[in-house]
Structure formats: C-alpha cells, structure tokens
Chains A and B, each alone.
Chain A
Amino acid sequence: MTVKLTIDGQPVEARAGQTVLEAARAHGFRIPTLCYHKDLSPTGNCRMCVVEVEGWRGLQAACVTEVQEGMVVHTQTETVMRDRKLNLELMLANHPMECLTCEANGDCELQDLAYEYQVDVPQWGFKGNRYPVDSDPNPFIHVDMNKCILCRRCVLACAEIQVRDVWGVAQRGFDEVIVAGAGTDLLSARCESCGQCVAYCPTGALTNRMEIGVGRTYDLEKITTTCTYCGVGCQFDLLVKDERVVGVASNPEAPVNGMALCVKGRYGWDFIHHPERLTRPRVRRYLLEGGEKPKGHQLDENPPRAWDWVEVSWEEALDLTARKLHETRRQYGPDSIGIFTSAKCTNEENYLMNKLARQVLGTHNIDHCARL
C-alpha cells in the first residue's frame, strides 16, 4: 500500500509502514542522523533527524515517525536547523576536543555534522574526562567512553547483529554510560571480539586498536576482497597504506555478511606482515653440493650440515624442483609423485595444480585437506 505525503513542498509516495526518514532518503532528501543505522532498530534518541510535521506539536524524530496519508513534512525549517545545531552543541559540550589526535578523525559522523552545521564549541565547554581513556583490556577494541554520544548503536549491533548482548546502558541522566556486561570488561562479559560495535560506532568511542596511529581513513586505500579463513565467504575492505595492510573495514555491500565479520576476519590479518614470512626461495645444502639426503635425521637436534637451508634465486629453485620431479617421474613413474593442492588457495591456483598433476606429470594423485 502506498501513502502520499509532502516533503519540503514536493509530493512523495511512500510504502505504508515506512518511516519519514526512509521515505525522505528514498527521494533524495538529506536528513542528518547519528543514532540511526539502517541495519539496526531505530531508537530516536539523538534527535538529529528532527523534522516539522504540519499540525503536529513539537518536532518529530524522522527515524521513528511512520508516514501517514497527507502528511506535510519540512526537513529544513529554521526551527529544525536550530534544534539540530543545539543538539550538536550539547553533545560537543561533553566531548573531548581531540580531533587532532583522535583515531576517528575523518571517519567521524559527529565531526562531519559539527562541520555541516558549523557548530560553535560551547563556551561552557568540556569539563574534562569522566572515564579512563582506553578503559578495556580487549586486545582488539579500544574503548574511550569520553567520546561516546550515547547513540546505542554498539548496544544494538551487539544485540541485533551479533546477538551476544555484551553492551548495555547503565545509570541515568548525565551519568548514563555504556557498559560491558554489568560494568565489567568486554571479554568477561562474553565478548566475541567481532568488532561489530566498532564498525557501527559513529565517533571515536570505539576504535580498532590495531589501526590506531597508522593512518587517517582518507589516506588509506581500500581493496574489497574475500576473507581467507572459513568457508562462509565474508567480504571486507583491506585498508592499505604504503604497500602495507593496516586494517580491515566492513563493506556494507558484502553479499554474504554485510557489515558483520568475526574476530579472525576483522582482526586476524596481521600474519600478513609477520617477520617469519618466507620471502626468498631456499633449498637444502645437499641439493647444491650433490650429496645424499640425510633421511631420518632431518629432525635431529643438530641435523647434518647437508640439511642446512641455503637461499637461492627463483631460477635455481624452480630448475632444481623441475629436475627432481622429472627424474622421479622417469625413474618411478608418474604415480610416484603426490600433489597436495590447497583449500586456502584460489580457484585458479587449484585448477593449475590439477593441470600440473594430470597434464604435466600424468597422475591423479592430487588431494587437499577437505577431509581434515
């Protein structure tokens, strides 16, 4: 069923049950929001999305107001703009002005709106931090509740996306604060470190610890790719600076997972640059010097010198490998060679391993860890 209404003088059709915010956005009207996120239940608590509805008393939060037949909505009146600006001033009155060093700078919805509405930082000003900075020992999630605007997106992301209910709201009035569990730390409150709360946080209250200080959002390249861990096939953006992976960000367009990721996908990427990465081909010394392979002694506490690694060029390593496989094939037949392909590698690589085994070597001895 459709509902006809007017937004800023323009006739608009909406679906019954839609909110004014959804209807307005669907038709290209800009209404600012902070606590609202399309993936989460609307709560109407930040009051940034207020609009005027003719004949209605007071301003309405567009995110929780359903469209009605004949409704006349104004999104940009003087009252509306003044109200939004005042809301922002109140939020900033209780917010540390640390944009210079804040991790969220450039990726902060509060900052963006303060700029859009040209908010003067209130003269009665910020009275100092009320909570410890970095208040939670979680190794992935940096918590600074001084920067929290009580939008509750973290609470809802945990309850509605992750369904873990770690975050909650404690106290009332000015003392209201977001807490993990009954005021404990995240892991004790059974946090799974999925980082959904960080992904939905509009400010610098929750940030990814691993990304702190490594680059401003606008300086990072984003490359959309598929996770390397499990078979669900989540997609996300790898954040890259100076040819280094420095983080992972949710990509809302990901077909399987949307914004959701797990702890390994979001925070398990630093193996990429681990110092133990192999970066040069190597072969055992006996292969270069022509001696016998020290079979049975490879795991000795002091293995024979012949078993030392020697770094070599790609040419040398590949020539040697080809020669050894060729000789084995000639001496013992194609089926004396076993090929282990990999469920971690790409489709193209698996096809090529299959082609290597079957076409080039002539064996069906190819398998991978599907059974394990």
Chain B
Amino acid sequence: MTGLVASYGSGAMSNSMDDIAQLAEAFFVIGSNTTEQHPVFGTMLRRAVRFRGAKLIVADPRRIDLTEFATLHLQQRPGTDIALLNGLMHIILQNGWEDKAFVAKRTEGFEEFRETVMRYPPDKVAEITGVPLEKLYQAAEIMAQSKPMAVMWAMGITQHITGVRNVMSLANLQMLLGNVGVPGGGVNPLRGQNNVQGACDLGGLPNVYPGYQNVTIPAHKEKFEAAWGVKGLKTEVGMTLTEMVPGIETGAIHALYIMAEDPAVSDPDSAHIRHNLQQVDFVALQEIFPSETAAFADVLLPGASFAEKDGTFTNTERRIQRVRRAIPPLGESRPDWVIIRDLARRLMALDPARFDWQAPHVGWDYKHPSEVMDELAALTPIYAGVRYERLEKGERLQWPVKDETHPGTPILHVGQFTRGKGRFHAIDHLEPAEGPDEAYPFIMSTGRVLYHWHGGEMTRRAEGLVKVYDEPLAEINPDDAARLHLDEASRVRITSRRGAIETAVLITERVPPGMVYTNFHFPQAGANELTQAVLDPQAKIPEYKVTAVRVEKVA
C-alpha cells in the first residue's frame, strides 16, 4: 500500500474483479496463490483463460495450481522480483514497446527510472532470478502485445524487506505499458482478510485517520479534534504492530488492547513475541475463542462472530457490503462494537474534563452500527456517501463514494492519478536479508493453504476442513526429499536461526529444489517460530517469504 501511495497516490486495488476477469487481454499474477487464497477470484481467472483465451503469466517460485492455466510460468528465485520486473521492463524499452503517449502525458520521473532499468540487461536478470532468457523475452512480448493487462499480487510481493519497492516496480510496469485507469487493467493488490481494506480505510493504521487523512497534517488533526471534542491529538505517527510488541521490552508499551488478532501465532519470530507478551503489564483481549494470544491476556472479553452482528465489510476491490446478524450473540458474548462502545464510555467517565461535550461526534451513544456509519461517513471523504439505506436498496458501492448521490468508483486513476501524475521510481534489486548458506541451505517461504485461514482459530474448529487438512505439511521437492531419504511418512525438523518446528512433509514438485514451503495454521508447528522480524523499512512488513532454514529427517 505504501508503495502504491508513493507511485499513484492511492494504495488500493485500482480495478474491479469482474472488470479484470471480463476485459483483461492478459493477466500478470505475481506473488499471489490466487486459487487458494482468493479462491472465487481464482476461478474467475481460470474462466477467463479457458473460455475467453486471456493470456496468463504467473511469476512465482512455486508451481502453484494457477500455473496449470498459465501461458507462461516464470519461476523466479524467492526475493528477486525487482530484478525480474526490471529485466522485463528493460526488454520492453529496448524494443520500444512502452506506451509513449501515456508515459509523456500522465507520468513523471521516467528518465531516472529508465537509467536504472537499463542496468538490468536480460542475461544479468536471468542469472539473478534463475528465469531462462527465452522466458523473459516471451513474457515481455506477451505484456507488450496484450492490452489491457491487469497485474495482480498479494503477500508474495509485499512480505519482503523490499516489499514497498516491489510494489513500486509493479506500478512502474503498468505505467510503462499504459495499463492504468482503464477497464481490464490496473494495479491490483489482493487484500488478504475479509475486511483488511476496511480496517485500513477507517483509521486502523498508526499514520492515518479514517480515509487516509495523514496524522502529520495539522488540518487533519484540527478536523478530528473539533469533531471528537478533544485537544492535543499528535502530529507524529504511532507505532505499527510489528513495533508495538518489541516496544514492550524497551519500556515503550505497558498495555495492549487487542481485538480479534492473534499476534502469538501470526507475528514473526514467535519465541520473541511470547517473551514480550509475558512481560507487558496488562493485556485485554476481545476474542471469540481462547486463542494462542489468550494465554497472555489478563482480561478476556467474549466478542461475537460475523453471524451475530450487523455491520459492513469492504472487500479487496473497495466494495462496501452488509454483514447481517443472523443469530443472537452466543451466551453472554457481545458484538465487538458494543464492547468498544461500553469501554469507551467508562474511560471517558474517568476523565470527563478532557472532552468538549458540545462537539458533534464526541459521544458514544450508538444504538446500531448504522449510526457509526453515519458518523464515519461525515468524517471520511471516501465513505461520504455510504449509507445503510443505500446498501439495503441493493446499490453497489465501491469507494470513493463522494456524496449520497455519487454512484461509487469501480476504477481508480481514470484520466488522472489520485496524486496527479503517476510517479516512476528508480528501483534496484536487493538481496533478501537472509540468504541460504552452509548451515541453513534451504529457503523457506510461508503462506496459507486452501482449507485453512491464517492462524487457524476458525478453520481448525471447522470439522470438515480439519478432515481434509489436519496437520501442517512442509512442501519439499522430490530431489531434496531423496537426498534427505524422506518419504511421505517422514517427519522433518526445520530449523532457522530463531527456532525449530517438527512437521510432516508433502513431497511435491510445487516447490523447486532448495525451497520449502510451510503454513502457519497450526500452533504445534507454527511457521512463525522460524521467521524473522526483519521488516520493510517503510511499510514495516516482515519478510515472511524468505527465511534460511535447515531441514533434517526426524528419526
């Protein structure tokens, strides 16, 4: 997101899924295991390839299922995406295939970018990435000849120390090809969680108020101070999640209030996380299950599942959709918005003099989430026209929804980028923080599988899903398996500089030799015991996709 903001001015997916599936001449999917992580969109891509003849280029170190449908599979070495993209853009420029009119009219920073890309001739790129020369040429040619082309990516691009720069490179590619602001094109980061888009949109980030209104800009501070009836909102950004937990041992953080997150499972370097969570003075946790993180909580407040509350989610294409209460909250559990409301009221009552009780949105008297929507719409320009009544009438709203009559915005950057001109960035390849060496000769990547979700708190409690996939499996190439004398019944110990896990194996050509792939759905062998908390310097995203490990057979 950070990368796209710098390039285009908005970090969100630019196009809609149906528009991409129906109109793109080609798809470039890089670092997204679409058919397992966004399965229904994955099937839309498969349909486009099979029934419409759309071309599909998949760039992924693993032979993921989608490669079965690919016109071309570029199997780059993990952590070499920038070199790969620069190499492809080098070929495009060399052949004069760039969209010269688009570049001249709608972008800036091209010359510096061009100089950098020129330092990535195809033979050098083939060497860095391990992608054969002829495939680089084929891919560049497909990209140049298929307009529009849509680019899709997910955490395979962002969970690197170069995550932001990877995204900027993709933004470069789409500007170079003139594929921005058109149906069937665009830059399309596929958001992972059901409402990660909405959480970002509505202030769940340390640097922005709702609607990406930067906290460092005094006008935004004044706006929210006036609305909420407070003084002294800071103009310095707060701490990210990946900074807050380590902030415990440095004495910066003394209390955590956590809603429906499981840092003990989903954060990198679990041992270090556990150490910190044991030292913090106070942890309150709103959850539906006794998660791994619950072991560290001082107070556990039972929240409600999505089936038990009203609200809205915003999907990956910025579409705001209703969530509806189907059953009452279980037992004494309460919808999360009720819990937050009742806690906020108590906190304010302990310190009432801090608030200007005349301010328009100072209070917390919500009786229904629709009232919260009305308030957030008043303060969030991109949600300004969103109302429950409109959604109930069946209106299909994708933000920005500028006012109550605005129909929403299916495609971003039409005619003009959010920031005015699109900015090319000159980006150089950088090796991953931890390469393989003699002691840790394998590269491990982590991710999810079709049948489970993230830390597994929900899916490990879904009977059928567990029947199909009941234990963590480390994917390993048959060549490596033979060398290590592994068969399907073997168990392995995977060790990194930070920890070790034991797990069963899946011997498969999905992974190339020298690579293992693990998931983090099962705490008994959580991949994050092994991962490192080395972060992208701007986005603070951990490098989950490249960890050096050793693999040994367990006798």
Q: What's the Cα separation between A341 and B295 when bound, in Å?
A: 19
Whether A367 lies near B244 (C-beta < 8 A) is yes
Is the C-beta of B381 less than 8 angstroms from some C-beta in chain A? no
Which residues of A95-151 have CB atoms within 8 Å of chain B's CB atoms?
139-140
Residue among B37, B281, B302, B542 making CB contact with A280, cutoff 8 Å: B302
Residue of A224, A268, A319, A365 near B238 (CB, 8 A) is: A365
List chain A residues, Cβ under 8 A from B254.
328, 331-332, 336-337
| Interface stretch of the complex, out of B87-95, B204-212, B488-496 | B204-212
A349 touches B257 (CB 8 A): no
Among A223, A282, A339, find the residue whose CB has the most chain B CB atoms closer than 10 A: A339
Cβ–Cβ < 8 Å partners of B355 in chain A: 359
Contact B323–A363 (Cβ < 8 Å): no
* 419-467 of chain B: CB within 8 A of chain A: 450-451, 453-454, 457-459, 461-465, 467
User: Is the pair A347, B463 in contact by a Cβ cutoff of 8 Å?
Assistant: no
A192 in contact with B257 (CB, 8 Å): no
**In the complex, what residue of chain B is closest to A372 when comparing beta carbons?**
B266
Q: CA separation between A273 and B327, bound complex, in Å?
A: 11
Q: Are A263 and B204 in contact (CB under 8 A)?
A: no
Binds A, one of B99-107, B179-187, B188-196, B503-511: B188-196
Least CB distance, B59 to chain A, in whole angstroms:
21
Q: Nearest-CB distance from B325 to chain A (Å)?
A: 8
Query: Which chain B residues border A54 with CB–CB below 8 Å?
Result: none
Interface status of A50 (Cβ within 8 A of chain B): no
**A-B interface contact total, Cβ < 8 Å:** 474
B302: A residues at CB distance < 8 A: 277-281
A104 to B313, CA, bound (A): 32
Q: In the complex the two chains form, is A296's CB within 8 Å of B278's CB?
A: yes
Distance A268 CA – B463 CA, assembled complex (angstroms): 8
Using Cβ atoms and an 8 Å threshold, which residues of chain A touch B362?
Answer: 359
Measured in the bound complex, the distance between the Cα atoms of B347 and A325 in whole Å is 8
In the complex, which of the residues B51, B261, B369 contacts A346, with contact meaning CB atoms closer than 8 Å? B369
Q: How far is the CB of A332 from chain B (nearest CB, A)?
A: 5
In the complex, identify which listed stretch (B23-31, B77-85, B331-339, B475-483) lies at the interface while the others stay far away. B331-339
Stretch at the interface among B120-128, B142-150, B225-233: B225-233
Task: Classify the interface of chain A: helix, strand, loop or mixed.
Answer: mixed
Complex-state Cα separation, A349 to B464, whole angstroms: 30
Chain A neighbourhood of B369, CB < 8 A: 346, 348-349
A344 within 8 A of B: yes
What mask results when residues 310 to 333 of chain A are scored 1 for a CB within 8 Å of chain B, else 0?
Answer: 000010011111111110100110
Q: Is the CB of A278 within 8 A of B282?
A: no
Q: How far is the CA of A276 from the CA of B322 in the complex (A)?
A: 27
CB proximity of A18 to chain B, nearest CB, Å: 19
A4 to B40, CA, bound (A): 39
Stretch from A28-36, A62-70, A78-86, A229-237 forming part of the interface with B = A229-237
Give the shortest distance, in Å, between B436 (CB) and chain A (any CB): 24
Q: Which residues of A contact B344 (CB under 8 A)?
A: 352, 355-356, 360
State whether A349 and B326 are in contact (beta carbons under 8 Å apart), knowing that A271-B305, A359-B230, A368-B196 are contacts in the complex: no
Interface residues on B, range: 35 or more
Q: B312 on the interface (CB 8 Å rule)?
A: yes
Q: Which chain A residues border B346 with CB–CB below 8 Å?
A: 318-319, 322
A136 CA / B324 CA spacing, docked (Å) = 34
Given contacts A226-B323, A336-B253, A263 and B203 within 8 Å (CB-CB): no
Q: Is the pair A210, B305 in contact by a Cβ cutoff of 8 Å?
A: no
B118 at the interface (CB under 8 A from A): no
A245 on interface, CB distance cutoff 8 Å: yes
**Bound-complex Cα distance A9 to B478 (A):** 69
**CB-nearest residue of chain A to B17:** A256
Please determine whether B464 and A343 come into contact, CB atoms closer than 8 angstroms.
Answer: no
- Give chain B residues whose Cβ lies under 8 Å from the Cβ of A297: 278
Whether A238 pairs with B307 at a CB distance below 8 angstroms is: yes
Segment at the interface with A among B131-139, B168-176, B284-292, B547-555: B284-292
Complex: chain A residue closest to B287, CB-CB: A278
Q: Is B242 an interface residue (CB 8 A)?
A: yes
A236-288 contacts to B (CB < 8 Å): 238, 240, 243-245, 253, 255-257, 260-265, 267-274, 276-284, 287
Complex: chain B residue closest to A228, CB-CB: B306
A194, CB-defined interface residue at 8 Å: yes
Q: Which residues from chain B contact A343 at a C-beta distance below 8 Å?
A: 192-196, 198-199, 204
Known A140-B464, A338-B239, A365-B238; contact A278-B288, beta-carbon cutoff 8 A: yes
- Chain A residues in 8 Å Cβ range of B1: 370
From A223, A340, A351, give the contact of B256 (CB < 8 A): A340
A351 and B376 in contact, given A263-B451, A270-B461, A367-B205 (Cβ under 8 angstroms): yes
| Across-interface contacts of B256 in A (CB, < 8 A) | 337-340
Q: Does A358 contact B (CB under 8 A)?
A: yes
Judged by a CB distance under 8 angstroms, whether A219 is at the interface is no
Q: For residue A281, which residues in chain B have a CB less than 8 angstroms away from its CB?
A: 299-302, 332
Residues on the B chain within 8 Å of A140, using CB: 464
Are A367 and B257 in contact (CB-based, < 8 A)? no
B526 to chain A, nearest CB (A): 13
Answer yes or no: A335 CB below 8 A from chain B CBs.
yes
Residue B373 interfacial (CB < 8 Å): yes
Interface segment among A19-27, A157-165, A177-185, A197-205: the answer is A157-165
User: B242 to chain A: which residues have CB within 8 Å?
Assistant: 371
For A309, give the chain B residue with the smallest CB separation.
Answer: B300
Confirm or deny: B516 has a beta carbon within 8 angstroms of a beta carbon on chain A: no
**A314 vs B345: C-alpha distance when bound (angstroms):** 14
Which residues of the other chain, A, contact B203 by a CB distance below 8 angstroms? 350-351, 353-355, 358, 366
B222 touches A (CB below 8 Å): no
B113 CB-CB contact with A under 8 Å: no
In the assembly, what is the distance between CA of A271 and CA of B288, in Å? Answer: 10
Q: Specify the chain B residue showing the minimal Cβ separation from A363.
A: B238
Residues of A within 8 A of B327 (CB): 240, 243-245, 272
Q: For the complex, give the distance between the alpha carbons of A355 and B204 in Å.
A: 10
Given the interface contacts A260-B43, A356-B343, does A347 sit within 8 Å of B239 by beta carbon?
Answer: no
With contacts A295-B279, A352-B344 taken as known, whether A255 is within 8 angstroms of B40 at the C-beta atoms is no
Which residues on the B side are within 8 Å of A370 (C-beta)?
A: 1, 191-193, 196, 199-200, 204-205
**A-contacting residues, B256-284, CB 8 Å:** 256-261, 263, 266-267, 274, 278-279, 281-282, 284
Assess the B348–A345 pair: CB atoms within 8 A. Answer: no
- Contact present for A139 and B463 (CB under 8 Å): yes
Whether B217 sits at the interface, judged by CB under 8 Å, is no
**Bound CA–CA A336/B380 (angstroms):** 27
Whole-angstrom CA separation of A321 from B259 in the bound complex? 13
Known contacts A255-B319, A261-B40: A225-B332 contact under CB 8 Å:
no
- The answer to whether A256 and B199 touch across the interface, beta carbons within 8 angstroms, is no
Closest chain A CB from B223 CB (angstroms): 12
Cα(A331)–Cα(B465), bound, Å: 47
CB-CB under 8 A from B314, the residues of chain A are 233, 347
Taking a contact as CB atoms closer than 8 A, the residue among A232, A287, A314, A357 that contacts B316 in the complex is: A232
Question: Would you call A227 an interface residue if the criterion is a C-beta within 8 Å of the partner chain's C-beta atoms?
Answer: yes
Q: Are A338 and B257 also in contact (CB < 8 A) when A160-B51, A355-B228 are?
A: yes
Minimal Cβ-Cβ distance residue in B for A194 = B39
Q: A338-B253, A354-B203 are in contact. Are A347 and B450 (CB under 8 A)?
A: no
Measured CA separation A194–B331 after assembly (Å): 31
Assess whether B300 is in contact with A282, with CB atoms less than 8 Å apart. Answer: yes
19 example contacts (A-B, Cβ-Cβ < 8 A) are as follows A139-B468, A223-B324, A230-B38, A230-B39, A233-B321, A243-B328, A264-B453, A270-B461, A280-B302, A318-B343, A321-B299, A346-B323, A347-B314, A351-B210, A356-B257, A358-B228, A360-B344, A370-B204, A372-B541
* Chain A interfacial positions (CB closer than 8 Å to B): 139-140, 160-163, 187, 192-194, 209-210, 221, 223-235, 238, 240, 243-245, 253, 255-257, 260-265, 267-274, 276-284, 287, 293, 295-299, 309, 314, 317-326, 328, 331-332, 335-372
Q: Lowest 5 A-B CB distances belong to which pairs?
A: A279-B331, A233-B315, A346-B311, A364-B238, A354-B203
Extra inter-chain contacts (8) besides given A349-B336, A365-B253, CB under 8 Å: A262-B40, A269-B307, A278-B288, A336-B252, A347-B201, A347-B313, A352-B341, A368-B261
